[in-house]
Amino acid sequence: MTNTVEQQATDALRVLSIDAVQRANSGHPGMPMGMADIASVLWSRFLVVDPNDPTWIDRDRFVLSNGHGSMLLYSLLHFSGFPLTMDDIKAFRQFGSVTAGHPEHDPGLGIEMTTGPLGQGFATGIGMAIAEAHLRSVLGSDLVDHRIYGFVSDGDLMEGVTAEAASLAGHLGLGKVTYLYDDNHITIDGTTDLAFTEDVAARFDSYGWHTVAVDGHDREAIAAAIAEANEDARPSLVLCRTHIGFGSPNKQDTSASHGSPLGDDEIALVRAAFDWDLPPFEIPTEVYGFYRDAMQRGGDARAAWTQRCDAADADRKNQLEAFFDAPDLHLGIPHHDAGSAVATRVLSGEVLQEVAGSLPGLIGGSGDLTPSNNSRIETSGDFTASDRTGRNVRFGIREHAMGSIVNGITLHGGLRGYGATFLTFSDYMRPAVRLGALMGTPSIWVWTHDSVFLGEDGPTHQPVEHLAALRSIPGLRVIRPADPTEVTVAWEMAIGHVDGPTALILGRQGLPVPHEAIDRDLVARGGYVRKHGDDAVLIATGSEVPLAEQAAELLGDRGHSIRVVSMPSVEVFLAQDEDYRTMVLGDGLPTATIEAGVTFGWERFSGRTGLRIGIDRFGTSAPASVIAEEWGFTPVAVADRVATWLGIS
**Degrees (nearest 5) of the Cα angle 105, 108, 110?**
70
CB 378 within 8 A of CB 353: yes
Q: How far is CA 222 from CA 30, 41, 230, 274, 539, in A?
A: 19, 7, 12, 21, 61
Instruction: Express the helix, strand and coil content of the chain in percent, nearest 5 each.
Output: 45, 15, 40
DSSP string, 519-535: -HHHHTTS-EEEE--SS
Phi-psi region of 527 (alpha: psi -120 to 50; beta: other; left: phi over 0): beta
From the candidates 399, 486, 544, 549, give the one annotated as an active-site residue. 399
User: In whole angstroms, what is the distance from residue 392 CA to residue 369 CA?
Assistant: 12
481: Cα separation from own chain's centroid: 23
DSSP state for residue 257 in the 8-state scheme? G
CB-based contacts of 99, cutoff 8 Å, min separation 6: 20, 70, 74, 84, 88, 89, 91, 92, 93
CB-based contacts of 91, cutoff 8 Å, min separation 6: 97, 99
User: In whole angstroms, what is the distance from residue 401 CA to residue 419 CA?
Assistant: 10
Neighbouring CB atoms inside 10 A of 607's CB total 11
Neighbouring CB atoms inside 10 A of 461's CB total 17
Q: Quick one: how many helices (H) and strands (E) in the chain?
A: 25, 21
Task: From 360, 417, 358, 428, select the one nearest 393 (Cα to Cα).
Answer: 417
User: In whole angstroms, what is the distance from residue 352 CA to residue 329 CA?
Assistant: 12
Task: From 478, 477, 479, 480, select the one nearest 500 (Cα to Cα).
Answer: 477
Q: Output the CA torsion 492→498→501→507 (10° steps).
A: 0
Amino acid identity, position 196: F
User: In whole angstroms, what is the distance from residue 559 CA to residue 537 CA?
Assistant: 15
CB 246 within 8 A of CB 69: no
DSSP state for residue 575 in the 8-state scheme? T
Helix axis angle, 160-172 to 399-412, nearest 10°: 70
DSSP string, 556-570: HHTT--EEEEE-S-H
399 tagged catalytic: yes
The helix/strand/coil state of 627 is helix
Rg (CA), the chain: 28
Beta bridge partners of 505: 447
Q: What is the 3-state secondary structure (H, E, C) of 24-64?
A: HCCCCCHHHHHHHHHHHHHHHHHCCCCCCCCCCCCCCEEEE
User: In whole angstroms, what is the distance from residue 109 CA to residue 358 CA?
Assistant: 32
Maximum C-alpha span of the chain: 93
User: In whole angstroms, what is the distance from residue 524 CA to residue 270 CA?
Assistant: 59
List active site positions: 399
